[in-house]
Structure 1
Amino acid sequence: MQTVPVAVKGYLEQKLSRKLVHMTAGPLFLLTWPLFSAEPYARYLATVVPGLNAIRLVLIGTGVVESEGTVKSVSREGDRAELLRGPLYYVLVLIGVTIFYWRASPVGLVALSLMCGGDGLADIVGRRLGKTKLPYNPSKTYAGSIAMFLGGLAMSMGLIALFCSLGYFRCSMGEVFPSVAAISLVATLIESLPINQSVDDNLSVPGSAALMGYLLLGAVAPAVL
């Protein structure tokens, strides 16, 4: 029986674990929001943990603090400088969404869902099931893009349903769905473009989702903060 080299096996497991963290860290953070009070300072208090994580990434990424385990777990190539790009952008998006959207708008939920559930799932599915490349970007596949659209849409609707049930938004799921689907489609198209060498997906995906959300979901009124 042919065996898989340990290095190769470890590399695959590392990439999968990194993407699983990418997919789950954001939504788990969002699920802590209902634990905070309705005080105006609550949203800022919620940013303490991701804020400390951002500082930690900067210290490790610049070499001030040594943490080989962190570098291996969140970087693609084992270079500590990578922590100052994608992983740091990810945490900064968490902070930004918390401060600017909090529990007053579903736009933040959609932006994070597409960055986490959408973009994360796209990489996993694309690498394992993607056979046909996109004609305008050979590093992306149809399978990955479909997974991003469906994963981001499903996570968005699930989180919106949860926050609506908790009384944070006044919205009808049937009315919100077309807008969320349109936002997911645009973010998927942005993610599929060959621009990730210039603009990180952790910025372009939530950024485009937030812009589309402002245009399509601005009418969703908050019930409470």
Structure 2
Amino acid sequence: MMALFSKKYSGIISRQKIIGILKELFRKSIHLCSAFVPCFLWIAYKPTIACLFALVVFYSAAEILRLNGKEVFLISAVTEAAARKRDENKFVLGPVTLVLGIILSAILWEKLPAAIGIYALAFGDGLASLAGKLFGRIQIPFTEGKTVAGSLTCFSAIFISCYLACFFMFQGQTDITKVSLIIAGAGMLIEILPLKDFDNLFIPILLGGLAQYLLC
């Protein structure tokens, strides 16, 4: 009897873990899509900013309607599929902070620093929690569940994306390896902090500002 109960309980835990990983994969695929934004900003800056603002307004309206029992085609379904357990029956703030972080980074900083901040958000933050879910065994104390695997993934992703962005776009004499290491280290420290959805704001803005200071 106990063996059957244990087997059933183990199966429930496994299913919950798989569902959690699938949700995280879906959420982070949205994060990764933000890596296309710098291209649109270079091609058509003002229309892209306008579209991003419109997206925030439209999503916010859809969320308010969803919380009042009125589903909005596709948007509400995507939100529910991507929402974490802590977001149940609440306004899902993540997409708003994600887009606002991108907008503010694009407005505050020059093209390359803004792109570095956005790439850090897309790849660093985007892959960190997914790696933590899949491979995280050692948790970092006082970080509300952040893992060593996630933090190392964040550092590596930011370093590579920053280095490549500088390599292809930057014409100065600055040591881009050193710059990339500094930005990756700062990004990892920000990602470790238990900021919840607000890391979407801090990562692109702070790292974009740091990149502008180091490169300009």
Q: How many equivalent residue pairs?
A: 200
Matching residue's letter, 1:62: I
Is the 8 Å Cα contact of residues 100 and 201 (structure 2) preserved in structure 1? no
1:223 is aligned to none
Partner deviation per Cα, 1:139-188 (whole Å, 9 max, x = no partner): 111111000000112122223334x2xxxx4335x722211210110121
Matched, 1:196 2:191: no
Give a deviation string over 1:164-214, Cα, whole Å, max 9, x none.
2xxxx4335x72221121011012112112x325x7211222233134224
Matched, 1:150 2:156: yes
The two structures, once aligned, show a CA RMSD in angstroms of 2.8
Aligned AA (2:158): G
Larger radius of gyration: 2
Q: Using the alignment, how far apart are the partners of 1:80 and 1:132 within structure 2?
A: 31
Q: What corresponds to 2:28 in structure 1?
A: 19
Deviations 1:66-117 (A, max 9, x none): 233132244223646443x22101111222223333xx44211121122110
The residue that corresponds to 1:139 in the other structure is: 145
Aligned mates of 1:108, 1:170 — CA distance in 2: 16
Distance 1:125 1:10, change over 3 A: closer
More strand by share: 1
Structure 1 distance, partners of 2:89, 2:213, is: 38
CA shift in 2, pair 1:34/1:176, >3 Å: same
Kindly indicate whether the alpha-carbon contact (under 8 Å) linking 2:125 and 2:154 is maintained by their aligned counterparts in 1: yes
Cα distance change, pair 200–34 in 1 and its aligned pair in 2 (3 A): closer
Other-structure match for 1:115: 121
Unaligned runs of at least 5 residues, structure 1: 37-42, 220-225
Q: The residue matched to 1:50 in structure 2 has which SS?
A: helix
Q: Per the alignment, do residues 94 and 121 of structure 1 end up closer, same or farther by CA in structure 2, a change over 3 Å counting?
A: same
Match in the other structure for 2:171: 170
Partners in 1 of 2:88 and 2:129 — Cα distance? 20
1:97-138 superposed Cα distances (whole Å, 9 cap, x missing partner)? 23333xx44211121122110011110111111111113435
Task: Tell me the TM-score normalized by structure 1.
Answer: 0.76
Percent of aligned pairs with the same amino acid: 19
Q: If each structure's helix is expressed as a fraction of its own residues, which one has the higher value?
A: 2
Unaligned runs of 5+ in 2: 1-7
The equivalent position to 2:71 in structure 1, one of 66, 72, 92, is: 66
Residue 127 of structure 1, aligned match among 128, 133, 158: 133
